[in-house]
Structure 1
Amino acid sequence: MRWKAMAVAVVCGGCAIAAAPVATAQQTATVYVVHGVPDTPVDVYVDGQRAIDDFQPGSTQGPLQLPAGPHKVALFAATAPDGSGAPVLQADANAPAGANLTIVAHLNAQEAPTITPFVNDVGPVPAGQARLVVRHTAAAPAVDVRVGGKPVIQGLTNPQQKELQVPAGTVSADVTLAGTGTVAIGPAELDLAEGTATFVHAIGSAAKQNLRVVPITITGLHSAPSGVPAGTGTPAGALPWLLLAVTGVGVLAAGRRFTGRPAAG
Structure 2
Amino acid sequence: MAAAGTASAATGSATVSVLHGVPDLAVDVYANGSELVPDFAPGTLTDPQQLPAGSYDLAVYPAGADPATTQPAIRADDVQVPVGADVTVVAHLDAAGAPTLTPFVNTPADLAAGQAELTVRHVAAAPAVDVRAGGQPVLTGLSNPGEASATVPAGTVSADVVLAGTDQVALGPAEVSLEEGAETIVYAWGSAQAANLALATQVVRGGGSAPGGVPAGEAGLAEGGWPAWTAGAGALAVGGALALTLSARRSRAAA
Using the alignment, how far apart are the partners of 1:67 and 1:54 within structure 2?
23
Look up the match of 1:85. 69
Cα deviation, 1:109-162, whole Å, max 9, x if unaligned, reads: 111112222221123221110000011111000111111111112221111111
Letter in 2 for 1:217: V
Look up the match of 1:57. 42
Paired residue total = 222
- 1:160/1:55 CA distance change after superposition, 3 Å: same
* 3-state SS in 2 of match to 1:163: strand
Look up the match of 2:160. 174
Give the deviation of 1:253 after TM superposition: 2.6
- 207-216 or 174-183, which deviates more: 174-183
Higher helix share: 1
Task: Tell me, yes or no, if the aligned pair for 2:109 and 2:117 is still in contact at 8 Å.
Answer: no
Using the alignment, how far apart are the partners of 1:179 and 1:127 within structure 2?
32
- 1:48/1:111 CA distance change after superposition, 3 Å: closer
* 3-state SS in 1 of match to 2:208: coil
Using the alignment, how far apart are the partners of 2:163 and 2:232 within structure 1?
34
1:124 matched to 2:141: no
Runs of 5+ unmatched residues, structure 1: 10-15, 17-22, 222-228, 233-250
Look up the match of 1:244. none
Task: Tell me, yes or no, if the aligned pair for 2:134 and 2:158 is still in contact at 8 Å.
Answer: yes
1:253 matched to 2:233: yes
- 1:70/1:158 CA distance change after superposition, 3 Å: closer
Task: Identify which of 230, 234, 239 aligns with 2:208.
Answer: 230
Using the alignment, how far apart are the partners of 1:210 and 1:101 within structure 2?
26
Letter in 2 for 1:86: T
Task: Tell me, yes or no, if the aligned pair for 2:79 and 2:243 is still in contact at 8 Å.
Answer: no
Task: Tell me, yes or no, if the aligned pair for 1:115 and 1:261 is still in contact at 8 Å.
Answer: no
Look up the match of 1:32. 17
Task: Tell me, yes or no, if the aligned pair for 1:129 and 1:168 is still in contact at 8 Å.
Answer: yes
Once the two structures are superposed, the pairs formed by residues 108-187 of structure 1 within 5 Å of their partners are 108-187=94-173
Task: Tell me, yes or no, if the aligned pair for 1:159 and 1:264 is still in contact at 8 Å.
Answer: no
Give the deviation of 1:231 after TM superposition: 5.1
Give the deviation of 1:176 after TM superposition: 0.8
Using the alignment, how far apart are the partners of 2:174 and 2:198 within structure 1?
10
Task: Identify which of 10, 26, 29 aligns with 1:41.
Answer: 26
1:205 matched to 2:165: no
Task: Identify which of 94, 97, 100 aligns with 2:83.
Answer: 97
1:3 matched to 2:2: yes
Using the alignment, how far apart are the partners of 2:147 and 2:71 within structure 1?
31
Q: Percent identity?
A: 48
- 1:113/1:168 CA distance change after superposition, 3 Å: same
TM-score by length of 1: 0.73
* 3-state SS in 2 of match to 1:255: helix
Look up the match of 1:218. 204
Using the alignment, how far apart are the partners of 1:85 and 1:40 within structure 2?
19
Task: Tell me, yes or no, if the aligned pair for 1:35 and 1:58 is still in contact at 8 Å.
Answer: yes
Give the deviation of 1:69 after TM superposition: 3.5
Using the alignment, how far apart are the partners of 2:232 and 2:79 within structure 1?
17
- 1:231/1:139 CA distance change after superposition, 3 Å: closer
- 203-212 or 106-115, which deviates more: 106-115
- Measured on the aligned residues, the alpha-carbon RMSD in Å equals 2.9
Give the deviation of 1:105 after TM superposition: 1.4
* 3-state SS in 2 of match to 1:98: coil
Using the alignment, how far apart are the partners of 2:107 and 2:138 within structure 1?
19
Using the alignment, how far apart are the partners of 1:55 and 1:79 within structure 2?
10
Look up the match of 2:253. none
Runs of 5+ unmatched residues, structure 2: 211-230, 251-255
